[in-house]
Structure 1
Amino acid sequence: EHTNFGFDLLEIPERFDRFEEGLEVITRLLREEKPITLQGDYYQLQDAILLPHPERAGGTRVLIGGNGEKRTLPLVARYANEWNGVFLPPARYTERNARLTALLEKEGRDPQQVRRSLMTRVVFGRDEAAMHAELAEMGTTAEAARERGIVVGTAAAVQEQLGQLAEAGVQRVMLQWMALDDLDRLAALAEAVL
């Protein structure tokens, strides 16, 4: 997309530097009622104020998604109200979640105040044959997909995996449904699992 619209996506370190400074700007504008002044490397504000100010106490909630331990999780600990892990199997989610809790405590924040979520793909089959057919189209197996953090299976298996994610600390799951033209199967997933 960035190429289509003529934007330089930048290298990852510079992109994260801008993102970090941007988070400071955005969260301060959303959460502080007084004008802010900031002379950053990328953004300069002089007596800036956001009007109308968010009505929610504490400002608009900020969700940061990603799994990186070096930059992403520290930014979540400093600025976010919700962490959204991406394509993590339960064991890896547990590890990242524990790391985030330690970072939040280091920042002096209550870990319970930061919601934990996960975005991942779901491959649902009404039966094993349908599930394996979709996996074959993806060029993978159920085991390999699960190792990559994808929720895979019939209703019982999907329910079991969602339970494992809840035990790992996931409070909300955002399931990506890639079979965009198969609304009947999506309805079957919702009826059987949700």
Structure 2
Amino acid sequence: MVAISLMIEGQNGLTWPRWKKLVAEAEQLGFAGLFRSDHFTNAKPPDMDSLEMIVSLTYLADHSQRLHFGPLVAPVSFRNPMLLARQAAALDDLSNGRMILGLGAGWQEREHTLFGYDLGDTRTKMSRLQEALEVITRLLNSDEPVTFEGHYYQLRGATLLPRPQRRGGPEILIGGGGVKWSLPLVVRYATQWNVAYLAPDAFRERAATLDKMLQAAGRKP
């Protein structure tokens, strides 16, 4: 049986009336999930309404019973991973375990320039994502205080309270298809993988590569 979810580009004119209607109709029509992008604005003008991601997902969590949901994906280039872990745990609890935390490195230059964030080069983006994943994973999984000394993030005896009702909190999804950078992070941290804009043959090849990497790491594809 195939489960079909919806993904909404939130920066393309998403408002409260539209989001409320989407949530209600996705639930009523039997879709498995409702996911959305996380951007301040478009990569190119014109700028359009872009309802804030966490606030909109909080509404969904409280106004649906079945839908799985989450960001597809939240860029750690402008989302603080410590706060994201805290928000995701709370949303997962509120929804009785329906949150999927989609994470990515960030890619859109324009929104970072407009709002004063440093996107960085590929190495910077991916090393920052790796640190963010480590921080988020530790905070969600550890009942003991967490200390972490990284280049981008530091924790000094931090504990998320209340602890997630679901052991380990929400599942982690990683967006990105690069064999050098993204797939090793999927193998290490994620239970779900998302990649876009690949032709069917290219996707099949990339998925097979990921399967081999998972098997080599002792994980089931």
Q: Structure 2 length as normaliser, TM-score? A: 0.48
State the 1:29 CA deviation.
0.8
SS in 1 for 2:135: helix
Corresponding residue to 1:93 among 203, 214, 218: 203
- 1:30 alignment counterpart: 140
Q: State the structure with more CA Rg.
A: 1
1:72 aligns with 2:182: yes
Is residue 3 from structure 1 mapped to residue 129 from structure 2 by the alignment? no
Write the distance in 2 (CA, Å) between the matches of 1:109 and 1:58.
Answer: 18
Instruction: Mark the runs of 5 or more structure 1 residues left unpaired by the alignment.
Output: 112-194
How far is 1:84 from its partner?
A: 0.3
Match of 1:15 in 2: 125
Which has the larger displacement, 76-85 or 42-51?
42-51
Using the alignment, how far apart are the partners of 2:139 and 2:205 within structure 1?
32
Residues 31 and 60 in structure 1, CA contact (< 8 A), matched pair in contact too: no
Amino acid at match of 1:85: V
Aligned to 2:139, the other structure's residue is in SS state helix
Output one character per residue of 1:97-140: Cα deviation in whole Å (capped at 9) or x when no partner. 111111112222222xxxxxxxxxxxxxxxxxxxxxxxxxxxxx
How far the C-alpha of 1:13 sits from its partner, in A, is 0.7
Separation (CA, whole Å) in 1 of partners of 2:214 and 2:144:
26
Confirm or deny: 8 A CA contact 1:63 1:82 kept in the other structure. yes
Shift of 1:94: 1.1
Which contiguous aligned blocks of 4+ residues in structure 1 show a shift greater than 3 angstroms? Answer: none
Instruction: Select between 37-46 and 19-28 the one with higher mean Cα deviation.
Output: 37-46
With normalisation by structure 1, the TM-score equals 0.54
For residues 98-109 of structure 1, the aligned pairs below 5 Å read 98-109=208-219
- Residue matched to 2:162: 52
* 1:14-65 Cα deviation digits (max 9, x unpaired): 1111111111001111122222111122222111111122222332111111
Q: What is the root-mean-square deviation of aligned Cα atoms in Å?
A: 1.3
Deviation at residue 91 of structure 1 after TM alignment? 1.1
